[in-house]
Each structure stands twice: as C-alpha cells, then as structure tokens.
Amino acid sequence: MTDRLKLAWTQSAPDHLVVQAQAFVEEWLLRLLPTRDAPPARLHGAMHDAVFPGGRRARPLLCRLVADSYGGGDDEMVGRLAAAIELVHCASLVQDDLPCFDDAATRRGQPACHVVYGEATAILVGDALLTLAFETLANAPVRRAPVAFRLMGLLTAAAGSSHGVIGGQALELEPHPVELEIYHRHKTAALFRAAAAGGAICCGAESDVSRWSRIGELIGCALQLRDDMEDVGGNAADLGKPAGRDAALGRPNAALQVGMDGCQHKRAEVIDAVRELLGPPTTETEALHRLVEEVTRPAVRQAG
C-alpha cells in the first residue's frame, strides 16, 4: 500500500474497524505463505514479493467487513477465505504484468515479478499462489469441512475459465470484441462477489448470500470503472504502474468507450445501487460504507 493510500484510510472516524480488518488480513496472508527460506527458496521469495507489500486489499477487506457486520463469524474461516481471495488476485496481477499480457515493468511502484525473477519464475509464482489459495481452504480444520467445501466451490468458480478471473483474462484474447460489462464481471467483479458472499457464508447467513453477491459484484464494477478512468487520465507516478495501457493494448476500457464523463456517471449510479442495497449506515455497516467510499474514490489527481 502506498503511503498516500494509507493516509487516506486513517484520516476519518470509523476507521479503527478498517485498520483492524487490514491487520487481520495481513496476519493471515503471512501465516499462510511458506516462509521465504523454505525450499524452493527462490520461488517462495518471489511469492512473498508478489503479496507484500500489498495494495488496498479491497477484496479481503470486503470479506472481513461483511463478516464483521454479523458480529465477526468464524474467524478462522474468514481469515482463510479472505487470504485465499487475495492470493488469487495477486496471482492474476503477476500474470497480467508478463510480457505476453500487459508487458508492465512496474507494479505497486516496484519492479514487476518477471523483471526481478524472470518469466519462468513469475509464471510459477502465479501457479503457486493460485494453488495455495485453494490449499488454504483445504487445510482448514476438519470440523470446518462443510463450510470449507462450500467456500472452495465459490472460489474455484470466481477464479475459473467460465465465469471467473481466468475467463476474464482470456476474453482479452478472443478474436471478436467482447462486451465490456461481461469482461468486467469476470475479470474484476467475480472475486468481489465471492468475497462478500463468502463473508456471509462464514457467518451462517445463508439467506443473505445472494444480496451480498450482488453488493460484491457492484463494488467490483465501481472499482473497475475507477481503474479504467485512471488508466486513461492518470499517470504512472500516482498509480505505481504504467498508465495508458488499455489504449496501447486494445483492451476494453469504459472510459475509452463512453468517455470520462460517461464513466463517472456510470460509476456514481453503481455506487448508489450499492448504498441502497447496504441501507443507511448503522453500527454494523458503517465500516462497509467507508470501504465502498474508499475503494471507489477517484485517484487524487483526478478528484483535485
């Protein structure tokens, strides 16, 4: 996380909940990753660099805060799921940066994985983080097997080729142009869906799962709209990664398709829909409202 973002998080009131949730996510990630020096040490070192320091951790935070809105749920399963979701996300970032995908030399302000370790290790980092994500659920205590099994179904679908992140990356390579909304739903919203729905499942709130899925999906869409605007209107120094990549690579981008104003408008609509589904802020949902505000906020330069 860049210092600028950290500062934004800690400036206002109900943030102690968010800060607690962030610490929880970092702790679980660190607990689950093999140590840097465990063989093969080169691979495990590269995995650490791909996960720490993190970005906003928006997906695992969403998972944790949804569970918090029910009083916390099963900490062990919330921790495992939150970390697993972030591991899938980190795997997708390492892969996105490869020369044959986005060919991005920097990520989160640091050299990209393949720049430091080479392409072969970067590809293995992607595989290993993806496998670790599922292993994290498979290694839950046996008495949690029914919930772990359920969450495994949720996470494999959110990552997979038909409706998940991998399918979203593949849509970039299809010979025919793809519909922007479907692309966003796969590539970004799928993990947010799983994060929100999974947080509720860890609390036994089965009847609320479809509502949380929808909330997660909308938050993911809002975030992607913001990312699209940043790619078009931002600069590398602020973003910690190259800007203008979508146009250069011919990738679907909402700001390129409907313009910055149209994109802003659409994003406002999506955020309104999230707020309506969340209802007015209460003690239980205040931190979630804060998260939505934070992860969908325009980049500093654009807002200023």
The reply to whether 70 sits near a second copy by the rule CB under 8 A is: no
What tokens were used for 118? 């080479």
Which residue lies nearer to a second copy by CB, 136 or 285?
A: 136
Mark 81-110 with x for binding to a second copy (rule: CB under 8 A) and - for no binding: ----------x---x--x-xx---------
| 38 CB-contact burial (10 Å; exposed 0-12 / middle 13-18 / buried 19+) | exposed
Stretch that binds a second copy, among 138-146, 199-207, 256-264, 285-293 (CB under 8 A): 138-146
Residue of 37, 71, 120, 280 that binds a second copy (CB under 8 A): 120
Q: Which of 118, 134, 131 is nearest to 49 (CA)?
A: 118
Amino acid letter for position 73? G
The reply to whether 167 sits near a second copy by the rule CB under 8 A is: yes
The reply to whether 174 sits near a second copy by the rule CB under 8 A is: yes
CB burial readout 209-242, b (16+ within 10 A) else e: beebbbbbbbbbbbbbbbbbbbbbbbeeebbbbb
241: which DSSP letter? S
CB 152 to a second copy: min, Å: 4
Q: Are 183 and 168 in contact (CB under 8 A)?
A: yes
Residue of 20, 169, 264, 302 that binds a second copy (CB under 8 A): 169
Q: Are 85 and 194 in contact (CB under 8 A)?
A: yes
The reply to whether 146 sits near a second copy by the rule CB under 8 A is: yes
The reply to whether 132 sits near a second copy by the rule CB under 8 A is: yes
CB burial readout 83-108, b (16+ within 10 A) else e: bbbbbbbbbbbbbbbbeebbebeebb
CB 224 to a second copy: min, Å: 18
The region that residue 289 occupies, defined by phi over 0 for left and psi between -120 and 50 for alpha, beta otherwise, is alpha
Q: Give the span between the Cα atoms of 187 and 182, in whole angstroms.
A: 9
Residue of 110, 161, 235, 257 that binds a second copy (CB under 8 A): 161
Residue of 58, 77, 83, 137 that binds a second copy (CB under 8 A): 137
Identify residues 11-50 at the interface with a second copy (CB under 8 A): 34, 38-44, 47
Which residues are at the interface with a second copy (CB under 8 A)? Answer: 34, 38-44, 47, 91, 95, 98, 100-101, 118-121, 123-124, 126-128, 130-132, 134-135, 137-139, 142, 145-146, 148-149, 152-153, 155-157, 159-162, 164, 166-167, 169-171, 173-175
